């Protein structure tokens, strides 16, 4: 049996990103569970602005598209700014989710998506919701109901996950793997439909 393939997309452009730290810990947990993990840090990729035209010939497009399309599940590590997911994540989804003339098809259809988020205020914990709903309605993604949302209170010494945060992340990763495993044999394939 092939190992479960998980794409981790770290969508913060902040060099001190806490969502990236959580994503790295998720990567470690997934590797412990013998998953094949592709970690993509958007800080290391020149992500083209989505224009539904020349963006598809950009060198980053193919790598990002296939990382998402070929995965058994995607983990989106995102910062929360101004009560919403940071703009780099939305640009990534627009770039890899658009379809158009020719054979191009969204990479996101039927993906199992898990969110790990870092924000400043505890009461922004639902800020990822509109993006999750969009992924579910547009691309028929299955959204992991276990989400990690971390703020200042969830860290020890600015860099180490608290015990509570580490436990939440472990459960979130385990649920992700169970969902991905159970859905791997599904018989349907989605496309644009209402």
Mean pLDDT of 50-74: 93
Residue 189 lies in a domain: no
- Distance separating alpha carbons of residues 183 and 175, to the nearest angstrom: 12
- Distance separating alpha carbons of residues 23 and 149, to the nearest angstrom: 12
Mean pLDDT of 95-112: 84
Q: How many domains does the chain have?
A: 1
| Closest C-alpha among 140, 70, 63 to residue 95 | 63
pLDDT of 191 > 90? The answer is no
pTM: 0.94
pLDDT category, 1, cuts 50, 70, 90? low
In this predicted model, what pLDDT tens digit does every residue of 172-189 receive, in sequence order? 999 999 999 999 989 998
Residue 110 lies in a domain: yes
In this predicted model, what pLDDT tens digit does every residue of 146-160 receive, in sequence order? 999 988 888 777 678
In this prediction, residue 158 carries a pLDDT of: 67
Residue 187 lies in a domain: no
- Domain extent, residue 108, equals 5-182
Output the domain CATH number for residue 105.
3.40.50.360
């Amino acid at each position: 049996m092939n190992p479960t393939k998980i794409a981790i997309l770290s969508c913060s452009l902040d060099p001190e990103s806490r969502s990236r730290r959580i994503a790295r810990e998720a990567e470690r947990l997934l590797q412990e569970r013998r998953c094949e993990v592709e970690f993509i840090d958007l800080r290391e990729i020149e992500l083209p602005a989505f224009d539904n035209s020349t963006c598809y010939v950009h060198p980053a497009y193919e790598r990002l598209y296939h990382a998402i399309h070929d995965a058994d599940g995607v983990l989106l590590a995102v910062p929360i700014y101004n009560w919403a997911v940071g703009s780099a994540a939305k640009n990534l989804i627009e770039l890899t989710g658009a379809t158009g003339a020719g054979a191009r098809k969204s990479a996101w259809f039927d993906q199992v998506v898990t969110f790990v988020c870092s924000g400043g205020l505890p009461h922004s914990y639902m800020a990822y919701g509109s993006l999750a709903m969009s992924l579910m309605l547009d691309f028929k993604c299955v959204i992991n109901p276990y989400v990690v949302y971390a703020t200042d209170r969830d860290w020890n010494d600015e860099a180490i996950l608290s015990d509570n945060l580490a436990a939440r992340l472990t459960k979130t990763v385990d649920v992700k793997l169970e969902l991905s495993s159970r859905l791997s044999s599904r018989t349907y394939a989605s496309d644009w439909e209402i």
